[in-house]
Structure 1
Amino acid sequence: MSKIIPGRITHRHDGELVVFHIGMQINRWWRPDLWLPVFTAMPRMLRELSRDADSGFLGYELLLGRGGPYVVQYWSSIDKLYAYAAAPAQEHRPAWTRFNQMARKAPGAVGIWHETFLVDRAESVYVSTRPMGLPKATRAVEVGRRHDRARDRFADGRTRAGSALSETAAR
């Protein structure tokens, strides 16, 4: 289990930042034969992306929503996100094809959704948490005096808020 980072942490990231939310909605819980294949596809994709340093994938958070699981993903480029989604030799494209085939046979059993955000500026703060979110996906930095308030961190754009944490503290 990850160690708690004491104090106030924010993130630092220079360059393009994409936040991608993707999830599934299980509409027929009593039909695991329909939703389980969709459910098990995402961990394979996340493992594949996490192993490929050139993919543009920065990290993710797995969450549970009202209708089922969803993932918040962080990417370094919208082009890299779209390239992964379209690549026939990687996990996403075949999984998407299988989902569409299943959805035609059992309409409404499982829903899929996503939202893509190209982020111009972002502000974050994490107080005494395990590594998560933007600091985990990008670079964790201590909140300095000059950036004590959310408004100040947001005004700074890419959040050049303080000194970098040591690698061991951020993990």
Structure 2
Amino acid sequence: MSRIVAGRMTHRHEGELVVFHIGMQINRWWRPDLWAPVFAAMPGMLRELSRDPDSGFLGYELLLGAGGPYVVQYWSSIDKLYAYAMDPAQQHRPAWTRFNGLARKAPGAVGIWHETFLVERAESVYVSTRPMGLPKATELVPVTRAGDRAQARFAQGRTSATAR
């Protein structure tokens, strides 16, 4: 387990920032034969991306929502995100093909979804938490006096949330 970082922290990041949510909705819990293969595909993709510093992948958080698990991913470029998604040599494309085959055999058993955000500015604060979210994916820095309030951090520019 990661250590707790005491105090008020925020993130610092310069350049393009993409936040990508991707998840699955388990519609037939009693049919793990239908949803388990979809669930099992994500860890391999996350490992693959985490090991490739040129992929544009900055990091992720795995969460559990009302319908099932989902992942919040952070990327340095929308083009790199799309390049990964379309590359047949990477794990995503074959997993997508397998999902489509499964969806044809058992329509509605499991759903998948994603949302993509190109972030112009971002503000964050983490008080006495483990490293997580945006600062874990970018850079964790203390909140400065000039960035003491959310409005101030948000106003300080493009995706950089600390005082300059």
The interval holding the TM-score normalised by the smaller chain is: over 0.9
Contact 2:123 2:161 in 1 (8 A): no
| Offset of residue 161 of structure 1 | 1.6
Equivalent residues of 2:22, 2:114 under 8 A apart: yes
Partner of 2:160: 159
Q: 1:65 to 1:160 in 2, by over 3 A?
A: closer
Unaligned runs of 5+ in 2: none
> Post-superposition, which runs of at least 4 consecutive aligned residues in structure 1 deviate over 3 A?
none
- 2:136 — aligned with what? 136
- Corresponding residue for residue 96 of structure 2: 96
CA RMSD in angstroms, aligned pairs only: 1.0
Q: Secondary structure at the match of 1:136?
A: helix
Provide the aligned length of Structure 1 versus Structure 2.
163
- Residue 159 of structure 1, CA deviation: 2.9
Structure 2 residue aligned with 1:81: 81
Provide the C-alpha distance between the structure 1 equivalents of 2:17 and 2:47, rounded to a whole number of angstroms. Answer: 21
Amino acid at match of 2:113: W
Contact 1:10 1:159 in 2 (8 A): no
Please give the residue correspondences for 1:50-129 in structure 2 after superposition, counting only pairs within 5 Å. Answer: 50-129=50-129
Match of 1:22 in 2: 22
What is the TM-score normalised by the length of structure 2? 0.97
Question: Which residues of structure 1 form unaligned runs of 5+?
Answer: 164-171
Tell me how far apart the structure 2 counterparts of residues 137 and 9 of structure 1 sit (CA, whole Å): 14
In the superposition, the TM-score normalised over structure 1's length comes to: 0.93
